[in-house]
């Protein structure tokens, strides 16, 4: 992700922390910024900037049991 794009993403995240990571991507798309980063890229940038705590991965596989 280009540095200017990441800076714009983090700027929006700092102004409204409850938006991170989904809404800033939508707002950049609305402004016409291309290429639009993915939500996962926005999340990784937010983790690098220590705006959010990293979440542990959740297994989507259900374990069968009796």
Nearest to 13 by CA among 40, 47, 51: 51
Task: Evaluate whether residue 22 is within a structural domain.
Answer: yes
Question: In this model, does residue 64 exceed pLDDT 80?
Answer: no
In angstroms, rounded to a whole number, what is the distance separating the alpha carbons of residues 59 and 32?
Answer: 35
pLDDT the model gives residue 55: 78
Decide: helix, strand or coil at residue 62: coil
Question: In this model, does residue 38 exceed pLDDT 80?
Answer: yes
Query: What value does the mean pLDDT take over residues 42-64?
Result: 82
Query: What value does the mean pLDDT take over residues 20-31?
Result: 86
Task: Evaluate whether residue 61 is within a structural domain.
Answer: no
Structure confidence at residue 16 as a pLDDT band (50, 70, 90) = confident
Q: Give the residue numbers spanning the domain of 22.
A: 3-48
Task: Evaluate whether residue 14 is within a structural domain.
Answer: yes
Task: Evaluate whether residue 57 is within a structural domain.
Answer: no
Question: In this model, does residue 3 exceed pLDDT 80?
Answer: yes
Task: Evaluate whether residue 34 is within a structural domain.
Answer: yes
| Number of domains within the chain | 1
Query: What value does the mean pLDDT take over residues 23-30?
Result: 88
């Amino acid at each position: 992700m280009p540095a200017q794009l990441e800076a714009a993403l983090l700027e929006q995240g700092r102004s409204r922390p409850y938006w991170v990571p989904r809404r800033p991507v939508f707002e950049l798309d609305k402004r016409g910024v291309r290429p639009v980063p993915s939500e996962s890229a926005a999340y990784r940038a937010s983790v690098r900037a220590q705006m959010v705590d990293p979440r542990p991965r959740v297994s989507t596989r259900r374990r069968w049991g009796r």
